[in-house]
Amino acid sequence: MPKAFVCSWTDHGSDVAWVHVAGELDVATAPALEQTLRRAELRARLVALDLRELTFMDSCGVHVIVYASIRAWRAGRRLVLVRGSAPVDRVFTLTKTSELVEVVDLEPCEPAVQVLLRLAREEQAA
């Protein structure tokens, strides 16, 4: 039985948000991610989307993520993906959308706060 889809976001202050997804991202669950990303975008200049617990993603999920990345770029914001499993990561390669998203690597046990702080420092330095 597939793992239930979970999608939530947390405001980490300093104009930074963390979006967590788990389970299967497909045609049925993509609208929930779209809505969550839009809410996070309204509150944060930097949004990190954690794909590590995603077990499956189809082209509908890629579509939502790529368009969120484009929206962020056009608005002068950033959407940064935390790399998921190899099968999830491969969907970006197969759909030739890898160059349209910013991806960072994070160890499974590394706390989200560490990545957010690193990304915020990078943004301030730029």
pLDDT digits (tens, 9 = 90+) for 30-83: 999 999 999 999 989 999 999 999 999 999 999 999 999 999 999 999 999 999
Residue 14 domain-assigned (yes or no)? yes
Q: Flag whether pLDDT at 4 surpasses 90.
A: no
Please determine, for residue 3, whether its predicted confidence score (pLDDT) is greater than 90: no
For the cut 90, the answer to whether the pLDDT of residue 25 exceeds it is yes
pTM reported for the whole predicted model: 0.86
Degrees, nearest 5: CA angle 53-58-59: 130
> How many domains, the chain?
1
Position 113 scores a pLDDT of 65
Give the separation between CA 31 and CA 11, rounded to whole angstroms. 20
Give the relative orientation of helices 59-74 and 30-43 as an angle to the nearest 10 degrees: 20
Q: Quick check: is 1 in a domain?
A: no
| Higher pLDDT, residue 11 or 7 | 7
Is the dihedral angle over the CA atoms 71, 60, 15, 101 positive or is it negative?
A: negative
- Would residue 88 count as lying in a domain? yes
**Is 15 domain-assigned?**
yes
Query: 23: domain range?
Result: 6-125
Higher pLDDT, 37 or 119: 37
Per-residue model confidence (pLDDT) at position 21: 96
pLDDT score at 15: 83
